[in-house]
Amino acid sequence: MTESERLPEGMTCRECGYCVGGLPMGRCPECGGDVGAREIALSERVRDVERAWPTVRTARFRLYAVVVPVYAVGAGVLGQHWGAMVAAFSMMSALVAGSWFVGWLATRSARPPQRTALFSIWVRCLPVLHGPWLVAPLCTAVALVAALVDRGADTGGVLLVSVSLIGLVLWVLGCLACPFVWADWWWGHTRPLDLRVRGLGGIALVAGMLALLGASILLGFGGGVMAAGGVASHLLE
């Protein structure tokens, strides 16, 4: 039997995790699952995602290490109190940490290296679930422009209210689209690799995704209202 007819060293069965490296292609001796050319290709692609995990982790750490403190400082400035900064920092930090924990918990049912690949994909997709509060600076910028125009035209805040209402409608539509965008990202990354979260892990994944999205919506709504109110109180008083 040639080397090309044997499975690569270190390869494991995708169904049971049994080490099949060096064995002939065909069936896993432990569970009877397929271990052929298709499984070799899938394993290599999963390994590529696993090897990319440190890069994904670093990118997300850097994103939130910048976003959370900056947003917290902005909340303190607009709220005119250090308590607002502490509260904003605490809520955003808890949401980010909870998001990582939910992904870690939901992917425990998978076998390595599929587990690492699934967690990496989860972390990669997190900005979609956090979208409702990540757009807070955009709300602040729009409210600032509207307030400046209102102040110059002396319209009594009519433009700011109108723009805020339109922004609220667009934000709500964006929130409704978030779960569909997340599902498209998730399946777009996992389906080509034949990665699945089974059993209770799948339930935890869906429940966690919906809970995190709900928390993001509440945080985003509160942040948007505070931003618009802070800008209005600073410029229209």
Note whether residue 32 is domain-resident. Answer: no
Note whether residue 75 is domain-resident. Answer: no
Note whether residue 188 is domain-resident. Answer: yes
Note whether residue 86 is domain-resident. Answer: no
Question: pTM score, two decimals?
Answer: 0.81
> Helix, strand, or coil here: 39?
helix
Note whether residue 220 is domain-resident. Answer: yes
What's residue 53's pLDDT? Answer: 92
Q: What string of DSSP letters covers 93-106?
A: HHHHHHHHHHHHHH
Note whether residue 27 is domain-resident. Answer: no
Note whether residue 8 is domain-resident. Answer: no
Residue-by-residue pLDDT tens, the chain, 237 positions? 445 577 887 788 777 778 888 788 888 888 887 888 888 888 888 888 988 999 999 999 999 999 899 888 877 777 677 777 888 899 899 999 999 999 999 888 887 778 889 999 999 999 998 988 888 777 777 777 776 776 666 666 677 677 777 877 888 888 889 899 999 999 999 988 888 887 788 888 889 889 999 998 888 887 777 766 666 665 555
Note whether residue 128 is domain-resident. Answer: yes
> Helix, strand, or coil here: 6?
strand
CA-wise closest residue to 20 among 3, 37, 8, 2: 8
Counting the structural domains of the chain, the total is 1
Kind and range of the H or E run holding 27: strand 26-27
What is the extent of the structural domain holding 114? 53-65+93-235
